């Protein structure tokens, strides 16, 4: 069959391309979160490939065996209503596959949403990542520094990115470290990342956000904790402090290169969390909208602690 | 002067000026042609004022094919722009407009129009009815759709196209970030055509429930009619959500409300939720009629009854219900946590089960059959493996953790084109070829049709399979360009090549219409495919009253039974038939809607008020109009039936 041939040749083409090139970013993980997703992706590709192959084989058998040109002129196909056993099989097997993948999905989703296994006891490094048209601002409240369009991470330490946006919805994505999460103007979302291998990783906004969207990228550099500390010290020694005026200028639509500052914009332009959240209608935490899960309340308290720290 | 400046395009380019000239020339040519051949009267009497479901269906499909070429031109431009790294064929703004209009045109004005057109033509024939329940409402539906489509299409020459994606997420679509009138066009074009769609939904539910031929219980309806019924039920439940969301968006943009703003108590996520509460069922609105077409075509060309009729119906009912329970999977990454994502991940995967049942039922319909490789059957055979690939990648996307990596990438783009093109587009081409002789009385050329199929299928694979790979390699969707270091270049070039093959396929398909119109024999008889359901029991092409005598039905394949098992379809004698009169009101009313939408887009309140008065005037006229339809006399029916080759009694 031409059709079958076409599919086989396409399958071969795809495998050669897959094998011939460098590993695809998503399937070349450098941290536990991305590794979980890469494993899930491989598992689902294999499961799904089996289904596709079964369907193509069945189709080929039907087409080869029951094509009109192979049958006698007076062959009259029978009237078949359906068979409970056959139908139970074609319902039952998909249900089993879906049940299996549901378990995989729920389990892995919980995994990538929390701090990776083995890192729960370490205190995470908190980095606020906020997007503006069409840049990424990274604020390190603990280190009291801020960078533009690049971020340094210590390896083997959990990093908690807190995401929000000074404009349209954006999506924070470092494919080799973890999947995406949206950054929005009226609330803070969180992403847990651990980088296990030092290196430079491409990061970008993956959610369309207007004219400059294509170039809305950044670099994430993972480096050993000691080097990370050295880098922080260096910044404190060399960089200029970030002023409110300067920050407002940075927010104007456009593209800028990489920049470094001491201090963060969180002091004069707090992140939309806790009392600054777009959906906070009063002082009491009970007034929070339902969509903010109770985790956020804890975070609210954490945040206040941070404020106290930075107030020193 | 300021008044007129708003109508200028904000980002002009030679391409836009060229298309302006082209549009002008085409319109001049049409006006000149109609005048020269003295066809204005014919056009008005026979088509523009018609309430005949068959003609409305054909007009829907012609519009859909025109929109296919509009959206297709957008697609080729996008593939061309991204074929090589750092290309400068389109700038960012222009590219953003192009992918936005591509999405809207293809979903709302191409696919929807095609399926509604096909339902219009086929459903009344399949249930042995003379027309739909509300013929004039049907005409209003079509003309509202047409007004919406035209409103959307003039956006790129007057005032600028929408540029926030077909999903139109706020706050990007708000006035802060999208200052031109483009998104206003989006709001009103979708609103007006959406009203038409909602009316279609009501019309077809009533038609199918109330107008079936005697003996046709629900479980004896042909499968396409079943799919149409379920589709229209989904339409009636889903479209009001869109109506309200669009209205809220309009208020945000034009009256300063904050429904979707991120300040003052508004919520940007609300738009995403409302959009997809409509948007996901919309996917099934598109695919279920396609499933219906495949069920008819595969049964006919396997010369067998459809396997597992009951499970086919059951799975569609289940799909319609579940289609409303999965919308969150469009934004797993919005940060609602593992529990919510887990639940929606499971519901999403669960919907694959009823879909899988259908695939196996089609395979089992071919089993022990006598398969003929006609053009409609080729599309159906190509559909099965390609749609399966699209379906299983859908299951992959449904795994929430993995979706964090696929979301917003070319992988997603590959997936949904992989279900929509082999699903909907193949089905519409299969259905069009299959029912073509019923519509026009001649067959489309098989040879050219097969060439078209192969170009389309191979072009499709080349255009979209590489996107799965670039998606996994980190290529985000909607990027107007990318750098050379990313390594996306070669695969994108392959995509462009595939898009080119698909363009050739569509040109071949249209050429086939021309070729067959000129050369195909006209004496094809009423049943050229040796088909099974009721629409083939009437004359070809179908007389305006459909059936001279209302058929009596005993099974879902009544016509097959009448051919093979001696079932007598037509028992009554011919008597006079009551038919609705043509009316110019629907097109006039839609004209007012067009002016209303256009004025609203530009906040020209005088125009809004006057056209609103016009709309209400049309309604009032209809209310007081005394039109009871007309009768076709017995003699006239005998005469018509004789011309078609003998009355059937």
What are A163-179's pLDDT values in tens digits? 999 999 999 999 999 99
What are B429-440's pLDDT values in tens digits? 999 999 999 999
Q: Phi and psi of A192, rounded to 5°?
A: -100, 130
Give the domain extent around A149: 125-281+293-310
Strands A150-154 and A217-223: parallel
Residues from chain A that touch B350, judged by Cβ atoms under 8 A, are 98
Q: How many domains does chain B have?
A: 1
Query: Do A93 and A191 belong together in one domain?
Result: no
Cβ of residue A212 closer than 8 Å to a chain B Cβ: yes
In a domain, B196, yes or no: yes
Which pLDDT band holds residue A296 (cuts at 50, 70, 90)? very low
Mean pLDDT calculated for residue range B324-340: 94
Strand-pair partners of B346 = none
Bigger pLDDT: A290 vs A113: A113
Query: Do A162 and A298 belong together in one domain?
Result: yes
What residue of A is the nearest CA neighbor of B404?
A179
Q: The tokens 């519409």 sit on which residue?
A: B428
Query: Do A144 and A20 belong together in one domain?
Result: no
For the cut 90, the answer to whether the pLDDT of residue B500 exceeds it is: yes
Residue B46 gets which letter from DSSP?
I
Q: How many domains does chain A have?
A: 2
Cβ of residue B260 closer than 8 Å to a chain A Cβ: no
For the cut 80, the answer to whether the pLDDT of residue A63 exceeds it is: yes
CATH number reported for the structural domain that contains residue B253 in this entry: 1.20.210.10
Which pLDDT band holds residue A303 (cuts at 50, 70, 90)? very low
Predicted pLDDT of residue B1: 52
| Calpha distance B307→B291 (Å, rounded) | 14
Query: Do A242 and A105 belong together in one domain?
Result: no
Q: Of how many residues is chain A composed? A: 312
For the cut 80, the answer to whether the pLDDT of residue B647 exceeds it is: no
Ramachandran quadrant class, B140 (left: phi over 0; alpha: psi -120 to 50; beta: rest): alpha
In a domain, A58, yes or no: yes
* Closest CA relative to residue A146, chosen from A158, A157, A156, A135: A135
What are B595-618's pLDDT values in tens digits? 999 999 999 999 999 999 999 999
Query: Do A96 and A146 belong together in one domain?
Result: no
What residue of B is the nearest CA neighbor of A203?
B474
Provide the CA B605 distance to its chain's centre, in angstroms. 32
CATH number reported for the structural domain that contains residue A63 in this entry: 1.10.287
Given the cut 0.95, state whether the ipTM is greater than it: no
CA atoms within 13 A of residue A281's CA, in its CB half-sphere: 9
Mean pLDDT calculated for residue range B244-251: 96
Q: Residue A19: how many CB atoms within 10 A of its CB?
A: 8
Q: Residue A237: how many CB atoms within 10 A of its CB?
A: 8
Average pLDDT, chain B: 93
Query: Do A180 and A253 belong together in one domain?
Result: yes
In a domain, A45, yes or no: yes
C-alpha separations of A269 from A128, A194, A244 in Å: 12, 27, 8
Share of chain B above pLDDT 90, in %: 82
Predicted pLDDT of residue A277: 77
Cβ of residue A233 closer than 8 Å to a chain B Cβ: no
Query: Do A202 and A248 belong together in one domain?
Result: yes
**How many distinct helices (H) and strands (E) make up chain B?**
23, 2
| Calpha distance A219→B293 (Å, rounded) | 50
Predicted pLDDT of residue B24: 84
Cβ of residue A1 closer than 8 Å to a chain B Cβ: no
For the cut 70, the answer to whether the pLDDT of residue B496 exceeds it is: yes
Mean pLDDT calculated for residue range A64-74: 89
A289-293, B72-76, B283-287: segment of lowest average pLDDT: A289-293
Exposure string of B578-608, with b = 16+ CB inside 10 Å and e = fewer, is: ebbebbebbbbbbbbbbbbbbbbbbebeebb
Predicted pLDDT of residue A14: 62
Q: Sheet containing A217-223: which strands, arranged edge to edge?
A: A150-154, A217-223, A199-205, A170-174, A178-183
Cβ of residue A55 closer than 8 Å to a chain B Cβ: yes
Give the domain extent around B194: 1-284
Q: Phi and psi of B167, rounded to 5°?
A: -80, -20
Contact A181 B487 (CB under 8 A): no
Burial class (CB in 10 A: 0-12, 13-18, 19+), B480: buried
Contact A67 B334 (CB under 8 A): no
In a domain, A119, yes or no: no
What are B187-207's pLDDT values in tens digits? 999 999 999 999 999 999 999
| Calpha distance B227→B388 (Å, rounded) | 19
Average pLDDT, chain A: 85
Residues from chain A that touch B454, judged by Cβ atoms under 8 A, are 2
The answer to whether A37 and B405 have CB atoms below 8 angstroms apart is yes
In a domain, A288, yes or no: no
pTM of the model: 0.92
Contact A44 B395 (CB under 8 A): yes
Mean pLDDT calculated for residue range B264-281: 92
For the cut 80, the answer to whether the pLDDT of residue B648 exceeds it is: no
Show which of residues 116-145 on chain A sit within 8 Å of chain B, judged by CB atoms. 133
Query: Do A195 and A215 belong together in one domain?
Result: yes
Q: Residue B403: how many CB atoms within 10 A of its CB?
A: 28
Q: Phi and psi of A169, rounded to 5°?
A: -65, 130
The answer to whether A229 and B186 have CB atoms below 8 angstroms apart is no
- Consecutive H or E run containing B519: helix B489-519
In a domain, A11, yes or no: yes
Residues from chain B that touch A179, judged by Cβ atoms under 8 A, are 333, 401-405, 407
In a domain, B207, yes or no: yes
Q: The tokens 């009694």 sit on which residue?
A: B649
Mean pLDDT calculated for residue range B353-366: 94
What are B113-163's pLDDT values in tens digits? 999 999 999 999 999 999 999 999 999 999 999 999 999 999 988 888 999
Query: Do A264 and A131 belong together in one domain?
Result: yes
């Amino acid at each position: 069959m031409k059709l079958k041939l076409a599919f086989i040749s396409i399958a071969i083409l795809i495998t050669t391309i897959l094998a011939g090139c460098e590993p695809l970013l998503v399937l070349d993980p450098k941290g536990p979160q991305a590794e979980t997703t890469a494993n899930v992706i491989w598992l689902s590709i294999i499961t799904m490939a089996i289904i596709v192959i079964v369907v193509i084989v069945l189709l080929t058998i039907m087409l080869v065996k029951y094509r009109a040109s192979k049958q006698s002129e007076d062959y009259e196909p029978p009237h078949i209503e359906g068979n409970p056993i056959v139908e139970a099989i074609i319902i039952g097997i998909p249900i089993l596959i879906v049940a299996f993948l549901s378990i995989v999905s729920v389990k892995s989703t919980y995994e990538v949403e929390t701090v990776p296994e083995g890192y729960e006891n370490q205190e995470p490094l908190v980095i606020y990542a906020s997007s503006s048209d069409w840049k990424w601002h990274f604020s390190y409240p603990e280190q009291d520094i801020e960078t533009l369009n690049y971020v340094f991470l210590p390896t083997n330490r959990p990093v908690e990115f807190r995401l929000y946006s000074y404009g349209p919805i954006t999506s924070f994505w470092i494919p080799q470290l973890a999947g995406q999460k949206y950054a929005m103007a009226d609330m803070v979302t969180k992403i847990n990342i651990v980088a296990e291998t030092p290196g430079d990783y491409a990061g970008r906004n993956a959610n369309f956000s207007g004219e400059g969207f294509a170039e809305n990228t950044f670099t994430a550099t993972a480096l050993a904790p000691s080097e990370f500390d050295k880098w922080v010290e260096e910044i404190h020694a060399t960089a200029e402090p970030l002023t409110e005026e300067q920050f407002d200028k940075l927010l104007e639509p456009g593209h800028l290169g990489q920049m470094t500052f001491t201090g963060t914009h969180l002091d004069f332009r707090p992140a939309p969390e806790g009392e600054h959240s777009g959906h906070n209608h009063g002082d009491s935490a009970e007034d929070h909208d339902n969509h903010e899960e109770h985790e956020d309340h804890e975070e609210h308290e954490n945040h206040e602690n941070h404020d106290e720290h930075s107030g020193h | 002067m300021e008044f007129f400046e708003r109508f200028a395009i904000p980002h002009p380019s030679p391409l836009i000026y060229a298309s302006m000239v082209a549009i002008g020339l085409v319109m001049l040519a049409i006006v000149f042609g109609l005048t020269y051949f003295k066809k204005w009267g014919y056009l008005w009497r026979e088509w523009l004022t018609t309430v005949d479901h068959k003609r409305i269906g054909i007009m829907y499909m012609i519009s859909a094919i025109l929109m296919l070429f509009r959206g297709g031109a957008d697609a080729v431009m996008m593939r061309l722009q991204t074929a090589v790294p750092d290309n400068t064929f389109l700038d960012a703004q222009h590219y953003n407009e192009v992918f936005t209009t591509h999405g809207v045109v293809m979903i709302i004005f191409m696919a929807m129009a095609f399926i509604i057109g096909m339902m219009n033509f086929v459903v009344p024939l399949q249930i042995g009815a003379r027309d739909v329940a509300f013929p004039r409402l049907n005409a209003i539906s079509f003309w509202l759709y047409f007004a919406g489509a035209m409103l959307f299409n003039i956006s790129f020459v007057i005032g600028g196209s929408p540029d926030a994606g077909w999903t139109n997420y706020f706050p990007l679509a708000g006035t802060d970030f999208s200052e031109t009138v483009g998104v206003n066009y989006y709001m009103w074009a979708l609103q007006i055509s959406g009203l038409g769609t909602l009316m279609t939904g009501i019309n077809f539910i009533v038609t199918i429930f109330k107008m079936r031929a005697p003996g046709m219980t629900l479980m004896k309806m042909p499968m396409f009619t079943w799919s149409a019924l379920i589709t229209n039920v989904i339409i009636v439940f889903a479209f009001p959500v869109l109506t309200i969301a669009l209205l809220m968006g309009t208020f945000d943009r034009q009256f300063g409300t904050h429904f979707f703003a991120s300040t003052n108590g508004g919520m940007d996520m609300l738009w995403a939720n409302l959009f997809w509460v409509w948007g996901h069922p919309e996917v099934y609105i598109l695919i279920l009629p396609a499933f219906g077409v495949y069920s008819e075509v595969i049964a006919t060309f396997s010369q067998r009854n459809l396997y597992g009729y009951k499970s086919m119906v059951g799975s569609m009912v289940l799909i319609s219900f579940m289609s409303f329970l999965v919308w969150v999977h469009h934004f797993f990454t919005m940060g609602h946590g593992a529990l919510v994502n887990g639940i929606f991940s499971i519901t999403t995967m669960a919907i694959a089960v009823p879909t899988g049942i259908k695939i196996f039922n089609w395979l089992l319909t071919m089993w022990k059959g006598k398969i003929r490789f006609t053009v409609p059957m080729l599309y159906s055979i190509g559909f099965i493996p390609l749609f399966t690939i699209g379906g299983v990648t859908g299951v992959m996307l449904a795994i929430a953790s993995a979706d964090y990596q696929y979301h917003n990438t070319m992988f997603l783009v590959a997936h949904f084109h992989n279900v929509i093109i082999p699903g909907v587009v193949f089905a519409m081409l299969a259905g069009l070829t299959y029912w073509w002789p019923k519509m026009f009385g001649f067959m489309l050329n098989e040879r050219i049709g097969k060439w078209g199929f192969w170009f389309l299928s191979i072009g499709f694979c080349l255009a979209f399979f590489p996107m799965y790979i670039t998606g996994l390699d980190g290529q985000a969707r909607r990027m107007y360009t990318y750098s050379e270091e990313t390594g996306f270049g070669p695969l994108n070039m392959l995509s462009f090549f595939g898009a080119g093959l698909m363009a050739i396929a569509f040109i071949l398909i249209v050429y086939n219409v021309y070729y067959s119109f000129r050369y195909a024999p006209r004496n094809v008889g009423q049943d050229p495919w040796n088909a099974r359901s009721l629409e083939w029991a009437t004359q070809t092409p179908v007389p305006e009253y459909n059936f001279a005598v209302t058929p009596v039905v005993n099974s879902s394949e009544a016509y097959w039974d009448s051919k093979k098992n001696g079932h007598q379809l037509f028992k009554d004698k011919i008597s006079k038939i009551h038919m609705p009169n043509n009316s110019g009101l629907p097109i006039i009313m839609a004209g007012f809607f067009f002016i209303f939408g256009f004025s609203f887009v530009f906040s020209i309140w005088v125009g809004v008020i006057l056209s609103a008065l016009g709309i209400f005037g049309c309604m009032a006229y209809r209310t007081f109009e005394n039109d009871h339809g007309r009768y076709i006399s017995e003699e006239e029916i005998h005469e018509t039936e004789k011309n078609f080759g003998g009355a059937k009694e």
